[in-house]
Structures are given as structure tokens and as C-alpha cells.
Amino acid sequence: MAHQEKATSGVEWRITLGDGSSKSLVPEAGFVSRIWMGLKGLLAGLVLKVSKFLKKAWDLGVDDPRKVIHCLKVGTALAVVSLFYFMRPLYEGVGGNAMWAIMTVVVVFENTVGATISKSLNRVFGTTLAGFLAFGVHWVASQSGQEFEPLIIGAAVFLLASAATFSRFIPSVKARFDYGALIFILTFSLVTVSGYRVDKLFNMAHQRMSTIIIGTSLCILVTMLICPIWAGQELHNLISRNMDKLANALDGCVEEYFDHNGELKDSNKQPDKKLLGYKCVLSSKSTEESLINFARWEPAHGRFNFKHPWQQYLKVGASMRSCAYCIEALNSCIVSENQAPELIKKHLSNICLKVSSNSSSVVKEVAKTIKTMKKSSSIDFLVEEMSNTVQDLQNELKSLSNVLSPPEVLLAESKETKETTSTIHLLEVIPAVTLASLLIEISSRIQAIVETVEELANLAEFKAEVHDKAKQDQPNITRIAPCQLNDDQTLRPALERV
Amino acid sequence: MAHQEKATSGVEWRITLGDGSSKSLVPEAGFVSRIWMGLKGLLAGLVLKVSKFLKKAWDLGVDDPRKVIHCLKVGTALAVVSLFYFMRPLYEGVGGNAMWAIMTVVVVFENTVGATISKSLNRVFGTTLAGFLAFGVHWVASQSGQEFEPLIIGAAVFLLASAATFSRFIPSVKARFDYGALIFILTFSLVTVSGYRVDKLFNMAHQRMSTIIIGTSLCILVTMLICPIWAGQELHNLISRNMDKLANALDGCVEEYFDHNGELKDSNKQPDKKLLGYKCVLSSKSTEESLINFARWEPAHGRFNFKHPWQQYLKVGASMRSCAYCIEALNSCIVSENQAPELIKKHLSNICLKVSSNSSSVVKEVAKTIKTMKKSSSIDFLVEEMSNTVQDLQNELKSLSNVLSPPEVLLAESKETKETTSTIHLLEVIPAVTLASLLIEISSRIQAIVETVEELANLAEFKAEVHDKAKQDQPNITRIAPCQLNDDQTLRPALERV
């Protein structure tokens, strides 16, 4: 028995085989087939992982085909520059410096036109500046004799590399000239350290500069001519798209809270996604900043001239985010367990929905202003309407105090009224009141958005909407009206019922 | 007269000189001195601009001396590698490939250890992988004859460059292997296009790899040995510092609202800065993400082992941000013009201050847990205390409804009571009620922070606080108590006064 146990711990399957056919089920698989099973499992896992990765990549490509186009553009540019230097006669002409053209294309080619131009110019000017400085240092070092040469070169590299690295920490330099500083350090070190004589250096510098200029020109041409992606246009679209998302989220949140149509609970998925659109606004700050930095390098394109006030988009984005913070807080009211009683909800639902739909139509109008780059003729009217409904909401809240106080119960006569109202405390109203006051805050932040966009419209000299077009748009605004659901006539009965 | 006018528009000062001495004041300055004045102004402007820039740079250095140290480290590494290759015998040894070592140092050296290691490994593996693939393509192309060679090389460069560029869009690749993909494209193109024969290529590849490895090793050594900045440590500090800021902002906001000590209005600047600390939390998402990415590359250091759960910091950061959004909304209550009447403020101030100070001491305790990496012994107690005060606040709000309803005025006997209470409507209470309910929401979000940090403590196996140390900390907690300002005994009279 002891022997058997000992053996079991060692080579289990042989012992079990000898024990009887009933126990030999597992070992019957055998050593080879076990390994085979293991390998199969491993392979299946690998295939699954790879296919998952490929699926993700495919989805990414389908989701934004411009990414695929960008890749093909990079491939084209590289293939062209590679073949250009692969042809022997040309290759001999520029010598080993051919690699600088290829390197330039690989490093400089970016997704947007602005980023590519920014990197190209940074590369050209960084190289030029560093080259001239390095010539000077190189000449001084070579004049000062064998002994001091390494000392001077080491000190120069140390000092200038340190200074250039430090400049990359300064925000204004980092935003626009980060890559230039890097290239400056690189070129300066390479030229200073190179063992060539100064006259040979000039020859090399000439070749190198020409290859870099060929590389950057090719990049700029390809990025601007084949399906160009302008950082400015992207920024413009991002802002107006985010504004639409903000409007939809605001509408969706308030509707969800009052669950107005009873429809939302059935189709849970679609509104959820719409509802969380404001999160895009919260997280798009860094994207906006980098797009603004790139947009400033771009020439006039489409509807944007060279002096387009890109910096103003920063303010528009900030005002949108400040609004999105409030929607976040609003959203927490919705998911909160502490819900207001139905009676209060009913009392406030109409006016709150009206405020939210008016506010969101202001945001949508502002988004349209940005999209079309035309000053809206109806924005003042919409803002006034929003302010009026906010005033109505405040009045409604005032009248709410008549509904809820317990002492009123003492004055009430009918038993029915007592049953409905006696249960309502201030504590129970709080969620609804919080929602209402957040809505009021949101509407004031929306006014800030309107102001920043008006400033943008003035700076960028947006044209006024043509009058005919304004008339065409009018139905658009009244189309929103049905969402507002009711005017004062339908509101009154609800109030009186309470 | 006409003649004079014509002349005036041309060379104004001569005419005016001839007109009489009374008009010759301006031209007396003369042409040269005018230019001199202009130049002086230009120069002064330039000097001012440069000195401003230098001042900003100096402040930056003083603010964070580690940035200066980083620059000196880059300078040192570059000077060392430059001199290493400047010495002729060595230079001849590795030929023109010396530049690869310098380039590696320039490009790979980053601020944090993690970033440097990440770039180094990406560079080494990207180069190796691309090198092997390129050898294959090069060999196939050279076997297929003069005609097909450019075709095969062009197609290979196009396909692989496109695919590698596309992989850079996939989030998981972008986060960790972005630089590797770039280097892959670069090396692949360079090696494929190079006109060398395969046996010469092997020789060159060997030299190039060795220079790259020398460069990366030097970078990693310098970055790890001279005043290392660990991304993990930075992340850890950032999170605990932000948590302290969150706690201070919460305290500051509520104190400012109730203007408790009357001191805040005098020293306006200091609390303002403290108050806006939550904005750091709102804007630190991208910093956190990049630090997490770098921290994953770092070896065990300080109190962090290799398998430290860096990903969990993402969750902690998210929970902090969700809390900061609410503080943003809270802050809007404070700056709002629509303020609650003093009476209501007085009624709620004590309990609200208590909630905020209890909440913020929970956050501070959690920050301490992260800072010391020891499980707190008092956190459960503090959370319970926070929940209790939140419950008290809810009770207080319940009792508030007795104060404000107009019908109560009918029941009231004394004229004095009538005067004080008759003015209070629900509408006026709303700002205070909103503040209170935001405080309640904030406390629930703080609980979420506590949970994520507890998860972190379990994953990272934080040790429990030593009992003796817990005792030492106890006074620390009671030290906070005076800020809570009052318990129920002092709260009652305030209530009864109302």
C-alpha cells in the first residue's frame, strides 16, 4: 500500500492502469495525446486572442476609415521615398545620407496636416540652427589644439543639451517647439562630435539638408493632397459634435428622471448611450488642446482662414466642460436611490422638461452656429425663452411650498387630500429640488457657452444668417416645441390637481 | 497751400521746420535720433520679452528642481557618449554607426525611469524584429532579379509600413508599443532599402545593435542611478496629494459658504487657492494614465514590488474625479448670487460644517493610507462617523420644513416669530438645500473612494497599522475634531433659536 502510494505520486497513470479497467479512463488518453490536448488548447487560446485582436483592429478601421487611409498614405510616402533612393544612380548621388529622407518621412508623417507641418518645420529649423551652432563650436574646438578639443566639445554638448532639454519643460515651448528642441539636441551632438574637417562638414550638411527638405516636402504634399485631415476642421467638428452630445445628454437625463413617456424603460440601451454623451465632453480637454496647437500651423483651408481664432475654441471647450460637470451632478440625481415621491415629480415634471428642452435647443442652436459658421438669427429669442422658463420653474418651486408643509394638513378638509399630502416632507422633495436647482445652474452655464461662441463668431467674423434661410429654420425650432410637451394651459390642471 | 499739403504728406518734418519754430518741436529730434528711439524701443521690448521668458524659466526651475536635475542628467549622458565616440580609436572601431548611440541617448532619455526603460526596450526590440524581417525581404528581393527587386521592396515597405502605422491606432498597442512600432517602420525601411549585400548587412547590423545597446544601457543606468524619478512613485504621490487637495477644497468650500469664522473674507487669497485644489483632480486624468503606463515598465523600487497593481490607481483616480465633479457643482452654489437667507444658513451651518469636516477627514485618512502604504485602523470608525452626521443632516433637513412653511405663520402667536419666519419661502431655502444634498452625494462618492483604496490595499498587500502607531494617530483624529465645531449639545440651541 505504501509502495503503491509512493508510486502514485511519481508516475500516476501506470499504477492506475494496473489497478483495473474502471480506473483507467483518464490515463487512457496517454502521454502524447495529453501533450497534443495541451498544445491544442494553447493554440486555440492563441488563435482566439489573435482573432480577437484582429477583430478589434477591424472594428477600429470600419469605425473610422480615415485611419486606414492615413496608413495607406504613410505606406505610399515611404514606398516612394524608398524607391527614389533605391535607384542606384540617385543613391550614389546623395550617398549614405539617403537614410535621412526615409527617417524624415517615418518620423514627421502625422495624422493631421497641422501636426505634419509643425513637425516638418521644427525639423528643418531645428536642424539648421543646430548645424550653424555646431559649426562654430567645431571650428573653435579644432583651433584650440589636441588637448582642449575633447574638453570644449564635451562642455558644449553638456551645456547646450541641458539648456535645450530644459526649454522643453517650458509650457509655451513644449506646445509648439518640443520636437524642434529634440532635433536641435540631436543635430548639434552629431555635428559637433563628427570627426570630419569643417570643409567636408559643409558638403555633408548641404546633402543632409537637401534630403531632409525632400522628405518633409513629400510628407507635406502627400498629407495635404491625398484625403487631407485638417486639425482645424477636426477641432471644429469635435466642438460642435460635443455640443450636440451635451444637448442630448441634458434632454435624456431629465426625461429619464421623470420617465416621461414610459417608453424609455423598454428600450434601455439606446438612451443610455445618448445619456452618457456628456462624458465625451469631460474627457476631451487634452484632445482639444493638441488640435488647437496643430491648427495654428495650418494654412487657410476650407472655411478657415490663416488667422482663424483657434485659441477661442479653448474657451468654448472650457465653458462646455463646466456645463458637463453640472450634468454629471444631475446624472447622480437620476441614479440616486433617494427618489422624490411621484406626486412631486408630477408637479415638477412639466416645467423641468420644458426647461431642459429649451436649454438643449439653445445648445443645439449654438452647435448649429458653429457647424454652419453663420451667426444664428434666433439665438437671442431662444435664450430669452430659456430664461423665461427658468423663471417659471422658480415660480413653480415657490408654489411648491404650499403643497408640502404638514401644517397644511391641519387646514385641509377632505380625507383624500390628507392621504396624498400628509406623507410629503421637505426631505422627500430634496431630490427634485436639487434637480431643479441644478437645471437652473445649467441654464446659466449654457448662457456662458452662448457668450463664448458669440465671441468666437465675432473674432472669426461669421456672417449673419440669410433672412430666407432664417425663415426655413423657423420650423426647425417649432419642431422642437412638441418635445416641450406643454405650455401653461396644460401645466395648470396638473398644478390644480395637486 | 495745395503745394504745402502735398509736400506735407511726403516729407512732413521739413515743411514744418520752415513754418516757424513753434511747430518744429517734433522734427527737432531728427531722422537719426528717431531711428535710434525706434530701435531703443524695439530693443527694450525684446529685452523685456527675453527677461520675462527667462524669469518664467527660472521660476519653473525653482518650482521643481528635479526638472533641472533631469536636464543635467541628459547633458551628462550625452557628453559621456559623445566623448566616448570622439576618441578616435573607438570612433574608427564602430565607424559611422557611432551616431546611433548618440541618437539613441537623445531620443530615449526621458524624465521618469519607466518612460526611459519603455522607450529603450521598444527601441531594442523594434530594431531587432524589423532587422530580421528586412533581411528576409532583402534576400528574397536580391534573388528575384534586377527587374522585380524594386517592385518587391516597394510593396514590402508599403505593406509593412501601413500595417505598423495602423497598429499604432489600436489603444492597447498605442499605450505600450507606440515607439516600438515607429522604430520598426524606420529600421525596416532603412535596412530593406540599403543597397548593401546581405553579408555586409550582417556586419552592419551587429555594429548598429551594439551601439544602440550601449546607448540604451547608458540611459537606463544614468536615469536609475542619478536622482531617479520613478513614474510609480510620482503616480503614488500625485494620487495622495490630489486626495489632500480634494479634502481641503471640500472643507474650504463649505466653510466659505457659511463664512464661518468671518476670517475668510479678510484673507481672500489663501483660501481661494486651497479652494480650487479640486481642479487639479479634474485635470490630472491624462497624467495619471501616462504615469500608469510607464510605471508598469519599472522594476521593483522603494516600497513597490514588480507586480504592484498600478491599474488600480486608474480606478482610484476615477472615483476621485467623480467626487471632484460634485465639488465643482458645490462651488457653483457658493459663487451663486441666489443665496439662502442668514437664518437658514445659521440653521444648517453647524451640521453642514460637521458633515464636510467628517467627510474631509475620511479623505485625509485615505490619503494617509496611500501615503504610508499601511491599512488604516480608524477608517471604519471615520466612515461610520461620516454616515452618522449625514443621517443627522437628513434629520435636520426634515426639521427644516417646520421652519419655513407660510401656514405655520397662521399658527404662530408672537409677532416676533412672524417677522422672522414669514419671509422664508421654499425658493429661498433651495440654495442651502442643494448644498446639503450635494454634500450627501459627495459623502456617498467618498465611500466609493474608500472602497477603491481598500481594494488597492488588498491587491498591493498593504500591512495593517501597528497598534502602537494607531494609538499615536488617535490624537491626530481628535485634532480634527475641533474643526467639527460642535456636537449635538451645541447644535440644539441653534435649532431652538430658530
What's the pLDDT at A474? 44
The count of CB pairs under 8 A between chains A and B is 247
Per-chain mean pLDDT for chain A: 77
Test A400 with B56 for CB contact under 8 angstroms: no
Judge whether B169 is closer than 8 Å to chain A, CB to CB: yes
What pLDDT digit, counting tens, does each position of A347-368 carry?
A: 788 888 899 999 999 999 999 9
- Residue B161 has its nearest CB partner, among A60, A74, A83, at A74
| Residue A129 confidence (pLDDT) | 92
Residue-wise pLDDT for B225-269, tens only, equals 888 899 999 999 999 999 999 998 888 888 888 874 444 444 444
Whether residue A336 lies within 8 A of chain B, CB to CB, comes out as yes
Alpha-carbon distance B249 to B261, whole Å? Answer: 17
Q: Per-residue pLDDT for B410 more than 60?
A: no
Cell of B216: 540604451
Q: Pick B158's closest partner by Cβ from A75, A282, A426.
A: A75
- Report CB contact under 8 Å: B407, A411: yes
The region of weakest confidence among A6-10, B61-65, B347-351, B446-450 is A6-10
pTM of the prediction?
0.77
List Cα–Cα distances, B151 to A83, B135, B186, in angstroms: 9, 16, 19
Q: pLDDT tens digits, residue range B212-227?
A: 888 899 899 998 988 8
A372-389 pLDDT, tens digit per residue, is 888 888 888 999 999 999
Q: What separation, in Å, do the N-terminal and C-terminal C-alpha atoms of chain B show?
A: 87
The count of residues in chain B is: 498
Spatial distance between the Cα atoms of B187 and B132, rounded to a whole number of angstroms: 10
Give chain B positions within 8 Å (CB) of A67: 166, 169
B463 pLDDT band, cuts 50/70/90, is confident
CB A136 within 8 A of CB A123: no
pLDDT surpassing 50 at residue B445: yes
A-contacting residues in B 197-226 (Cβ below 8 Å): none
Check residue B437 and give its pLDDT: 84
Interface contact B89, partner A, CB < 8 A: no
Instruction: Name the minimum distance, in Å, from the CA of A428 to any CA of chain B.
Output: 9
Tell me the nearest-neighbour CA distance from A153 into chain B, angstroms: 8
Chain A nearest CA to B287, separation (Å): 10
- pLDDT-derived band at B402 (thresholds 50, 70, 90) equals low
Alpha helices in B64-112 (DSSP H): 65-86, 88-94, 98-108
Residue A75 touches partner B, C-beta closer than 8 Å:
yes
If DSSP codes are grouped into helix, strand and coil, which group holds residue B373? coil
Contact A189 B78 (CB under 8 A): yes
Rounded average pLDDT over A420-428: 56
Burial category of B432 from C-beta neighbours within 10 Å (exposed 0-12, middle 13-18, buried 19 and up):
buried
Is it the case that residue B495 has pLDDT exceeding 60? no
Window A:350-409, CB contacts with B under 8 Å: 394, 397-398, 400-402, 404-408
Mutate to test the interface with B, among A112, A281, A427, A440 (most CBs of B within 10 A): A427
Cell of B29: 529730434
Q: Calculate the average pLDDT of chain B.
A: 77
Q: Distance between alpha carbon B195 and the CA centroid of its chain, in Å? A: 48
* For range B323-343, the mean pLDDT: 78
A285 min Cα distance to partner chain B (Å): 8
Give residues with Cβ within 8 angstroms of B33, minimum separation 6: none
Q: What is the pLDDT of residue B320?
A: 92
pLDDT tier at B464, thresholds 50, 70, 90:
confident
Give which of A327, A334, A415, A392 is closest to A363, Cα–Cα.
Answer: A327
Q: How far does B4 lie from chain A, in Å, by closest CA?
A: 41
- Residue B464: φ, ψ to 5°: -75, 150
Query: Helix or strand or coil: residue A460?
Result: coil
Per-residue model confidence (pLDDT) at position A96 = 62
Q: Looking at the predicted structure, is the pLDDT value of residue B492 above 70?
A: no
Contact call for residues B292 and B314 (beta carbons, < 8 A)? yes
- Residue A316: which pLDDT band, with cuts at 50, 70 and 90? very high
- Which residue carries 490536448 as its cell? A37
pLDDT of residue B347: 79
Average pLDDT over every residue of B60-86: 86
Least confident interval from A225-239, B190-204, B290-304: B190-204
| Rounded Cα gap, residues B461 and A466, in angstroms | 67
Q: Say what the pLDDT of residue A453 is.
A: 92
Task: Give residue A191's pLDDT.
Answer: 83
Helical axes B198-225 vs B113-143, angle rounded to 10°:
180
Return the residue of A nearest to B146 by Cα: A87
